[in-house]
Amino acid sequence: MPTIWMNGQLVSDKDAKVSVFDHGLLYGDGCFEGIRVYNGRIFKMTAHLERLYNSAEKLTLKIPYTIEQMADALREGVEANGTANAYIRPVVTRGYGNLGINPFQCEKPEVIVITATIQLYPQELYATGMKIITAKRPRVDRRALDPSIKSLNYLNNILTKIEAVKAGVHEAVMLNSEGNVSECTGDNIFMIKDGEVITPPPDAGILVGITRNFVLQVCRETGIPCSERNFKIEDLKAADEVFLTGTAAEIMSVTHIDDLQIGDGTPGPVTRRLLGEFRTRTGENAPED
């Protein structure tokens, strides 16, 4: 039974409760992060917490703890659960309010840190790669909803995930209102063409992933050409390799999109190299900054 850090105290998961009048429940008003722990080290903790606080600021939501205090809360949760490898989910809700939508009638946010485990995709797919589809549902326009906010309202992603599951696959890639590739329901997407690693830029309507940025950093440090630029679904399907990145997913090869095979239908050499680099760097001494 996991131990939860909640509003400054450690409680059991059965005692970690929020009100039915919490606006996080009623309206999806809040934000969260997903963070990995490797061998006791909280991977990219600083970057994750900075993004959490940026999300809260854009929601005009004041987190009643400093970043340093939140970092201590994450460490406390890991220690209390006695695990060297875990998945941490810090959550900030708007807090108790009424049935009206006005967020300023909620006096105090709820701050929760869940420490557990996660397995987004079957382990065997990391060796074989997986199939995804092109979603019929578009990504919400960034002019309507700032994609840099990792909010509790994931309805656009959930409805697209339903589309993927009904198609018998684990993921779907969404296109934005300009018809460019944006991201998947829970992961950023990359393609490799003629040796260059390419991923959509922030203005494609993506949530800029921490693992995404780490992969770009690894590319630069290992001499693999990389860039951020817009591309169409036809470009993605014509790529030599395609892979996804995310905190839960890490790096996952895509071998088929819709009914089209990518490359030779197996994880490609650049994807395998990047996955190897990722596992080495997180396994030996995962960077917390």
Q: How far is CA 2 from CA 25, 78, 79, 279, in A?
A: 21, 10, 11, 26
Residues recognised as catalytic: 150
Residues with Cβ within 8 Å of 199's Cβ and at least 6 positions away in sequence, in order, are 188, 189, 190, 191, 212, 216, 226, 227, 228
Kindly report whether the global pTM for this prediction surpasses the value 0.85: yes
Tens-digit pLDDT string for the chain (289 aa)? 789 999 999 999 999 999 999 999 999 999 999 999 999 999 999 999 999 999 999 999 999 999 999 999 999 999 999 999 999 999 999 999 999 999 999 999 999 999 999 988 999 999 999 999 999 999 999 999 999 999 999 999 999 999 999 999 999 999 999 999 999 999 999 999 999 999 999 999 999 999 999 999 999 999 999 999 999 999 999 999 999 999 999 999 999 999 999 999 999 999 999 999 999 999 878 888 8
Domain ranges of the chain: 3-116, 125-285
Amino acid identity at 226: C
CATH code for the part of the protein at 125-285? 3.20.10.10
Residues with Cβ within 8 Å of 235's Cβ and at least 6 positions away in sequence, in order, are 181, 191, 193
From the list 275, 224, 283, the residue with the least C-alpha distance to 254 is: 275
CA 257 to chain centre: 21
Q: How far is CA 49 from CA 92, 162, 289, in A?
A: 12, 29, 10
CATH code for the part of the protein at 3-116? 3.30.470.10
Helices of type H across 14-137: 23-27, 45-58, 67-81, 125-128
Return the SS3 of 50: helix
- Give the containing element (helix H, strand E) for 171: strand 171-175
